[in-house]
Amino acid sequence: MKRLLYLFVILSFIAAGCSQKKGNNYIRASYKTDIHIVSGNDIHGAIENMPMLAAAVDSLRAIDKSLLVLSAGDNRTGNPLNDLYTIPAFPMVALMNYIGFDASTFGNHEFDSDQPLLSKLVTLSNFPYICANVFPDAELGIQNIPYKFFDVKGVKVCVLGVVQLGIQGTPDSNPDHLKGIRFEGVEETINKYLYLRDQCDVFILLSHIGYEDDCAMAEKFPQFDLIVGGHTHTQIEGGELHNGVLITQNVNKLQRVTHTILTVENGKVTGKRAENIEIASSKNKNPFVAQIVEKFSDNPELKRVLAVATAPFSTYEELGLLMCDALKEMTHSEIGFTNMGGVRYDTHPKGDFTVDDVLRLDPFGNGVVIMELTPKEIEDMLIACFYADRNRFPYTSGIKCDVEYTANAKNEPEKVVKLTLTTDDGKPLDPNKKYKVAGNAYAVTVSDSPREDEGREFGSISSDLLIKFLTEKKQINYSGRRCLTEHIVK
């Protein structure tokens, strides 16, 4: 009798737990269960919000310890405490490891790490990077995988990952960091992996392609149960159903994450719902994660000496010229320029120039824009910058500016009446030539003047270029250097 009862229990378990056999020798789950997923996107180095995320994940794990935690990419870039750590972007990886992320896809900003660093970060991650349209050369050692199966309470969940490609056919990042990596189109890639649908109960696209393209993929590929999206920082209230596919995404820096519940019955998703969880404004923190964040915030890297100033800086212009030199040289341009308001202090003593000094001088995290401009377009842009920057003329490297103004009642510059540009050795610019000009993204944006080439993002922020510039120079002396001569005319 006991033996019969035992046999009955075993048979019942098999019948209830994993019965129906389908294609590819895969056994579908045949009971009803809920799969819980927490997904974030475009975290952009917001380590300060990780204690609140950890608390939310802890609470959900208390309900369902099989919780899947996913990131739709762009985990780094946007916070110097993360991006300038001794191993850049490691704090976010360490915190994601501690929280127990199950997977991330690559966002375009993962490629802000150069190839050796990306390889290191992937190695240091306890979770896989799922990205099917990225093919790094073997010698780079970047170990991404195209998809992964997760066994969640006996339900087979397949996650396929993809990253955004811009018009060049590569993710929007520094082109130098993409060398040795091949990329394939998103749609073409998904088509290749559609067979996975028949090998799982739940098919998820972990996508860093943006909301619009997520919708397009949902229309083309109703095989997906869920698209966990990122890239466009789109706040979707809960989730949106497109062609039967649930799409989720949130604004950046962990303002919110999405908690998705998929009900799986007899190997099919029969229910989908999603809610947003407020993270950044939450008062609940995981105290241990808070301690780790505190540790990372006391970043010894900020004290690192980049170069030695052999003479003190004593004017905004000298420091502005340093910033412009970095823009020019590190982008291999002929001219660099920055708005005067972008230079945040006017003196620096003789001696060490540290990472912290750079971040105080250029704290805005501005991108860098490269343009090809005629001398007339350069003149117009610099004059537009003057008016947009409260009548303060921008600083330049590679050219010198001699500018005449009329004055207001306080004898301050009011209107530019004449601007003469010359090369560093005093020659006029060639009117038939287009010059390669690099400016910080803010200065370029506010300088709204007619030009054929609006430019393109270089793929680095200006403070990173200054850090690299100083590291290369080792010694600097800007004492007495000028790029700007100003006259008030009556």
Partner 1 sequence: MIVKVNNEEVRIFKGASVKHALLRYILRIKADVSNIEKLQVKDCKGHQIDQDAPLKEGDSITVKL
Judged by CB under 8 A, does residue 187 bind partner 1? no
Distance of CA 141 to the CA centre of its chain: 21
Judged by CB under 8 A, does residue 251 bind partner 1? yes
The two tokens of residue 284 are 């609940």
Nearest approach, Cβ of residue 386 and partner 1 (Å): 13
Fill in the per-residue mask, 44 to 63: x = in contact with partner 1 (CB under 8 A), - = not in contact. x-------------------
Segment near partner 1 (CB under 8 A); pick from 194-202, 423-431, 447-455, 481-489: 447-455
Nearest approach, Cβ of residue 302 and partner 1 (Å): 23
> 110 vs 113, 167, 370, CA distance in Å?
6, 18, 22
Judged by CB under 8 A, does residue 442 bind partner 1? yes
Nearest approach, Cβ of residue 311 and partner 1 (Å): 36
Nearest approach, Cβ of residue 466 and partner 1 (Å): 20
Nearest approach, Cβ of residue 46 and partner 1 (Å): 11
The whole-angstrom separation of Cα 477 and Cα 54 is 47
Contact in structure between 45 and 71 (CB atoms under 8 Å): no
Fill in the per-residue mask, 289 to 328: x = in contact with partner 1 (CB under 8 A), - = not in contact. ----------------------------------------
The whole-angstrom separation of Cα 96 and Cα 75 is 9
Contact in structure between 443 and 342 (CB atoms under 8 Å): yes
**Residues contacting residue 299 through CB under 8 Å, at least 6 positions apart:** 81, 84, 85, 86
Judged by CB under 8 A, does residue 465 bind partner 1? no
Fill in the per-residue mask, 26 to 45: x = in contact with partner 1 (CB under 8 A), - = not in contact. ----------------x-x-
User: In the set 20, 123, 143, 235, which binds partner 1 (CB under 8 A)?
Assistant: 235
Judged by CB under 8 A, does residue 331 bind partner 1? no
User: In the set 64, 423, 457, 484, which binds partner 1 (CB under 8 A)?
Assistant: 457
The whole-angstrom separation of Cα 477 and Cα 67 is 56
Toward partner 1, which CB reaches closer, 280 or 419? 280
Which residues ranging from 352 to 381 are in contact with partner 1 (CB under 8 A)?
Answer: 367, 369, 371
Judged by CB under 8 A, does residue 236 bind partner 1? yes
Strand order in the sheet with 245-248: 147-152, 155-163, 202-208, 226-228, 245-248, 240-242
Q: Where are the alpha helices (DSSP H) in 42-185?
A: 50-63, 80-83, 90-99, 115-124
DSSP 384: H
Distance of CA 254 to the CA centre of its chain: 13
Judged by CB under 8 A, does residue 341 bind partner 1? no
Nearest approach, Cβ of residue 13 and partner 1 (Å): 46
**Residues contacting residue 244 through CB under 8 Å, at least 6 positions apart:** 218, 222
Name the burial class of residue 318, with classes exposed (0-12), middle (13-18) and buried (19+) by CB atoms within 10 angstroms of its CB. buried
Nearest approach, Cβ of residue 275 and partner 1 (Å): 16
Judged by CB under 8 A, does residue 233 bind partner 1? yes
Judged by CB under 8 A, does residue 225 bind partner 1? no
Segment near partner 1 (CB under 8 A); pick from 13-21, 63-71, 80-88, 437-445: 437-445
Nearest approach, Cβ of residue 425 and partner 1 (Å): 30
Neighbours of 103 (CB within 10 A): 24
Toward partner 1, which CB reaches closer, 43 or 322? 43
The whole-angstrom separation of Cα 443 and Cα 368 is 9
Which residues ranging from 382 to 421 are in contact with partner 1 (CB under 8 A)?
Answer: 388
The whole-angstrom separation of Cα 313 and Cα 406 is 29
User: In the set 444, 461, 470, 476, which binds partner 1 (CB under 8 A)?
Assistant: 444
Residue type, 24: N
Give the β-pairing of 134-136 and 484-488.
Answer: unpaired
The two tokens of residue 245 are 């596919």
Identify the residue whose tokens are 């003479």.
311
Judged by CB under 8 A, does residue 78 bind partner 1? yes
User: In the set 211, 337, 435, 469, which binds partner 1 (CB under 8 A)?
Assistant: 211
If binding means CB under 8 A, how many residues of this protein chain bind partner 1? 33
Can you give the binding site for partner 1, defined by CB under 8 A? 42, 44, 78, 166-167, 172, 210-211, 231-236, 251-253, 255, 367, 369, 371, 388, 441-442, 444-446, 448, 454-457, 459
